[in-house]
Amino acid sequence: MPSLLHEITTPFKKATFGMGCFWACDALFGAQPGVLRTRVGYSGGTTLDPQYRKIGDHTEVIEIDYDPKVVSYEDLLKLFWSNHEYGLTNVIKRQYMSLILYHDDDQKRIAEISLKKEAHKHNTKLTTEIRPAGAFYPAENYHQKYRLQEHAWLCEELGLTPELLQTSHVAARLNGYLVGVGKLEDFEKDIAKLALTDKIASFVRAQLIENEGGSLYC
């Protein structure tokens, strides 16, 4: 069985985005080079202990741990701007709003510059809000790595626990590859790095090829 408990000692930074349904974000970012871990949840509001059916004034977001030596914050923002489920100009309910929660002054500066560039590109005012990151509340277990959890046998063979669905690098990568996100050559390199069995590697490879270019959204 692959070892999912190995420590990732690489220094990392956090990024937090709201882009619509967080299932899609989890898959999109999880398979990107330099992304170490992902988890989905609720943030941006003031309500205590938000839940999916009682989200209060929070937004569905993804929290990303990334290696800045491999992928930059600017790179993550490019994915953010290009992959909204509901677009950037539509006024929708707060649960699915376009939101950037910055973790330091540098992220704030970069995000504000990128917002101005995107608004100029679209030649209109965007609905995206930029605010400091506050409390993050992990979503319920069934939301974490949702696409991966659709393959129950795979989760069982990987030995995934509810905790590992949020902390495992392996889970993050496979959750993206299974729905066609990422490059085949990157997956081939990951097979040994992630200690995948031949059975798992063959299945994920077939899914990656079949689903490449398909829709991520709900």
Report the catalytic residues: 21
CA atoms of 40 and 16, how far apart (whole Å): 9
Question: Can you tell me which residue has the tokens 């992959």?
Answer: 83
Tally of CB atoms within 10 A around 100? 27
**Token pair listed for 175:** 């959750």
CA atoms of 180 and 206, how far apart (whole Å): 10
Q: Is 57 in a helix, a strand, or coil?
A: coil
CB 26 within 8 A of CB 147: yes
CB 15 within 8 A of CB 107: yes
Q: Which residues contact 31 (CB under 8 A, 6 or more apart)?
A: 172, 173, 175, 176, 177, 181, 182, 186
- Does the CA dihedral 34-39-40-46 come out positive or negative? negative
